[in-house]
Amino acid sequence: MTMAEKHTNNDLENKICTFLNDKEDGATALQIAKGVGLKKASDVNSVLYRLEKTGQLFRNSDQPPIWSRQKRSAATVKNSQPTDALAEELKKMMLSDGKSNGMKSYHLAAKLNVPRSEVNKCLHGLSRSGEVKRLGETSLWKVDETNGGGRLIKYKGEFQDCSIELKEDSRFFRDFELVSVLGAGGFGCVVKAKHKLDGKIYAVKILENTIKASREVKALAMLKHPNIVSYYTSWDEEAFWINEFNDDDSTTSSQYPTDSEQRDSCSSANGAENSGRDLSCLFIQMEFCEKGTLNDWIKKRNEGTKNKFKKALHMFRQIVSGVEYIHSEGHIHRDLKPENVFIGEDETVKIGDFGHVTITSSSPVSRTSETGTLIYMSPEQTEMVYDKKTDIFALGLICFEILWKMPTVSEKLKLFENLRRQIFPEDFKNKYATEHHIIRKMLSQTPAERPDVKEIAKYLEDFLLRNSTALEQKSA
């Protein structure tokens, strides 16, 4: 480290210590960063931990952690949870005096004649339980206007944190009991929910109410097929939304995260530090598939010893059947991949996630750039001029993936890169000569050279009828 860098670090350490000298209740990393003129928590994290090692700072076990100049005793930490009486007084005060614009903690402390440190502890506790919220990145606090607190749907994932606050009288919480959060992404989140009236389990997708979301609902409502996830209903309602990707410098992630790498559904999210926004959200109630995704099945197969060739081919036939129906109804899915294929309790395979669906055409036309997942995209899809044959390319990659074990992500990326150049593993060509032939055609660089989905369906029917003995041998 140069002398200039040391001087800069020392200066930042002094600024942080000076800032915290006036904060008897401590502050989060983001609050500290703002207080010393920086933008993000990651701008000060390394310095905070260095100061902790030298005994100049202390942090508690809250999420996010609270940093202070004094060490808090176990009793103090334990008592940092809001007492019922003070919590109710704070909420009443915010609902009366701060109903529109919110209130600052020191105003609340003065009005209630309570130490500011106790008010701050109580507010942070209420924030973690979802009863109050901070307005953006300000120091103003506010309660839901309806009845003193909204209800949170929280998710902490490997690559995505999500926190959605709904009003207590929202249709979702009126009709459903939240079971768990299945996953989150840039689109929003999907939850597993039990309907209070019929007692059945459903998947409910929650996303911003946009033209794209409306297009997904219309497609789901129109497409009715045994190999398509069933749609039941949809509605919109207001929500306060915090939804951001983790950008911790210490996190290294695959370019293509998978569902099973998500974790801790319904947990307290780090997003509590981040500003949110009021949004009109669309709720889509769909069929819940008990056995997860095709991606989950592939992972278990990769970890096992059995090949499961026969089952894989029967599953692929169902996927092809679903795509054949989608194309016959004048649509292109545009985001076919194992994560968007689901498996029901009776082993029926169903295609879902129609967020990228579009209308098909008799000839290639220019389309939008929001075209799906890069690793499964056809060559022409990235150029935004394509037709329904783009789905065939993705089907070719899926077919290869359910037949051939690829234990690691790096191995999968390398093999997929080769497949795009028509380079197949020699062992695969020897063991799956017939399958290799059809997959190679599906992965043709030129869309016109790819078979249409009806040809693929006929091939599968003929092959499965003719080769029952061969299927058993390949599955051994």
Residue type, 234: S
**Could you tell me which of 160, 145, 464, 179 has the C-alpha nearest to residue 317?**
464
**Cα–Cα distance measured from residue 186 to residue 240, given in angstroms and rounded to the nearest whole number:** 16
**Could you tell me which of 433, 429, 423 has the C-alpha nearest to residue 463?**
433
**Cα–Cα distance measured from residue 317 to residue 320, given in angstroms and rounded to the nearest whole number:** 5
Q: Which residues of 2-36 are buried (b: 16+ CB within 10 A; e: fewer)?
A: eeeeeeeeeebbebbeebbeebebbbbbbbbbbbb
**Coil, strand or helix: which one is 170?**
coil
Annotated active-site residue 248? The verdict is no
Helices and strands (DSSP H and E) totals, the chain: 17, 18
DSSP classification of residue 254: -
Q: In angstroms, what is the C-alpha Rg of the chain? A: 27
Please tell me which residue in 161, 335, 353, 391 is annotated as part of the active site. 335
DSSP classification of residue 248: -
Backbone φ, ψ for residue 276 (5° rounding): -120, -170
Could you tell me which residues come within 8 angstroms of residue 423 by beta carbon, excluding any fewer than 6 positions away?
none
Could you tell me which residues come within 8 angstroms of residue 428 by beta carbon, excluding any fewer than 6 positions away?
400, 403, 404, 436
**Could you tell me which of 253, 241, 236 has the C-alpha nearest to residue 186?**
241
Catalytic residues: 335
